[in-house]
Structure 1
């Protein structure tokens, strides 16, 4: 466990008076322990953690790691929680909720709750998670080689031998299969037709990638011309010196969402709620967006066109996202993997 300095006295350029955090003044000598992704921790420290410590007169202990490790720690300490608040994908959060590791978030104490896009307000049900960021998934492609107007174009003759597809075990895999199925006319969340379509074109697919960095390298080496990818990785492609485009398929875009959750019976609920509210504020969400750290779930955030180009941003884009429900992912991922292994990797 990494303990950070108690008082860094570094304030972000946020309008702190608007954050309704007066109760935090009574939090002297208190510690809030949070479990987060390792991504962009220097930026989070400057924009979120340090300014909140300054306001609340408290310590924030930040624990990082992959989702499996962090969930295991929360579960191992279920009876005596050592984590107060965590951020997780929607399906990982749903899994934790099913193990009674979480408690509902009292949204009446979040002054910024009503500013959120509707899809972020209660993505798990019963207010067990609050969306703080999301991302679109679409297709990046070489605009000098092909035109991509549909998810079905991934399996077109024009891309045969020059396309990559995310492995079903990745966060991008099931959503990409879902949208491929939509293009084929599938209804509901049955991924079997899409898996069969990928299997039928197995000889045309260069690789089933597991990391966006791997994909960026293949694109740079001109071994592939197109692939589904999350918007958070778009910067790796748009600046690679090749003619790249982000597709807006006629079926729409898919993606994913991360949520804030409160661990059950942690005894530090008030401070955790104050921290969540701070993170969801317009000023902080704007600063994170401008630093290209997170796409904002707060609908009041306004950024330049240049910044927006790198994010999943704006009411129209958010409304167009077709997200797989977290319970569907949780209940189906084992059967999806079994079918993928049997038909695609045979």
Structure 2
């Protein structure tokens, strides 16, 4: 075989090999029930439609981001998912790529808040964990309608707060701080509110199972927490409902991000598009009661009753700046620990 023939054969083989290599992506997921829903709602349908293999690394947001930073010259992920705002830092450090409607057509149908940072490289939010008031409907004499109601004396001995080492607990504190007149520069009003509530009989827990125990065994009526966990309590047989406070609904944004420095940009973009599709979002909402971000998502009445749903309801969603939280996390955690030490 001549040198020219060998080169031609090599080029032909590469041409056939390239699509096969491109038919595989690596993502992270969060394990447990979330990963089960992720497979059912996005990963398996994506594989069925494209024939692509999806390699899953179970890694929560902070760990996945640490891996992304450490592997910046040779990243393992094609798509990386965050729930703690890490996409803002990752985009600023050049670790993520911007997506466009040409790459991800479903972007066109997202609510504006879910795609506000995509031009900067921040991935779009494909699910929202809304934080509001989880209420024991069969116990509370009168249902609260706003966050400020948490300060009512009649609720105090039946109120469950969550330590801010828990992400939802952090959001709950910042919301209490806001209604008490505080700001990102000053959380003392929120800490004072927590102290007042504890003096009146409220309790602080650290984990989700502890919240369930308080509702099941200790006559809890109200806990500032997320809609997805309210659904968990309902599945456990407890009569609870999720109520949005009139002042607004703070939320954790779950984002799908395109990683820089990888070869499978087109296939990874298709995976993100699948995550944003109405069918995938409706599936997630049914499975875990997350709020959809695609305006064309249709939910059953039963599911819609448990989540923030529709354009009007979505207007009440709010997000505390993850950069501010991260910059102050250590100091705030120490201050909160001192406040609840009693």
TM bracket (short chain)? 0.7 to 0.9
Quote how far apart the aligned CAs of 1:345 are: 2.7
Q: Deviations along 1:266-319, whole A, 9 cap, x unmatched?
A: 222111111111221223223333334643111101111112123332112211
Match of 1:194 in 2: 190
Match of 2:121 in 1: 127
Q: Secondary structure of 1:79's partner?
A: coil
TM-score with structure 2 length normalisation?
0.84
Match of 1:215 in 2: 211
From 272, 276, 290, the equivalent of 2:272 is 276
Structure showing the higher helix proportion among its residues: 2
Match of 2:140 in 1: 145
Q: Deviations along 1:12-71, whole A, 9 cap, x unmatched?
A: xxxxxxxxxxxxxx8434310011211433333233222222332321101112233322
Match of 2:308 in 1: 312
From 27, 31, 37, the equivalent of 2:24 is 31
Quote how far apart the aligned CAs of 1:89 are: 1.6
Is contact 2:78-2:259 (8 Å) kept? Answer: yes
From 232, 255, 258, the equivalent of 2:254 is 258
Is contact 1:132-1:260 (8 Å) kept? Answer: yes
Question: What is the alpha-carbon distance in structure 1 between the residues aligned to residue 69 and residue 29 of structure 2?
Answer: 15
Q: Deviations along 1:316-342, whole A, 9 cap, x unmatched?
A: 221111221222222222221132123
Quote how far apart the aligned CAs of 1:240 are: 5.7
Q: Deviations along 1:163-216, whole A, 9 cap, x unmatched?
A: 111111211123212222333244566322111221233333543222222201
Q: Deviations along 1:213-260, whole A, 9 cap, x unmatched?
A: 220121011332211010011123345656534333332222211111
Length, aligned pairs only: 321
Match of 1:101 in 2: 95
Question: What is the alpha-carbon distance in structure 2 between the residues aligned to residue 282 and residue 85 of structure 1?
Answer: 19
Distance 1:329 1:190, change over 3 A: same
Distance 1:156 1:90, change over 3 A: same
Question: What is the alpha-carbon distance in structure 2 between the residues aligned to residue 128 and residue 270 of structure 1?
Answer: 17
From 64, 67, 72, the equivalent of 1:73 is 67
Match of 2:53 in 1: 59
Q: Secondary structure of 1:63's partner?
A: strand
- Structure 2: gaps of 5 or more residues: 1-17
Q: Secondary structure of 2:120's partner?
A: coil
From 314, 318, 323, the equivalent of 1:327 is 323
Q: Secondary structure of 1:109's partner?
A: coil
- Structure 1: gaps of 5 or more residues: 1-25
Question: What is the alpha-carbon distance in structure 1 between the residues aligned to residue 154 and residue 241 of structure 2?
Answer: 16
Quote how far apart the aligned CAs of 1:123 are: 4.3
Match of 1:88 in 2: 82
Quote how far apart the aligned CAs of 1:125 are: 6.2
Question: What is the alpha-carbon distance in structure 2 between the residues aligned to residue 105 and residue 128 of structure 1?
Answer: 8
Q: Secondary structure of 2:157's partner?
A: coil
Match of 2:282 in 1: 286
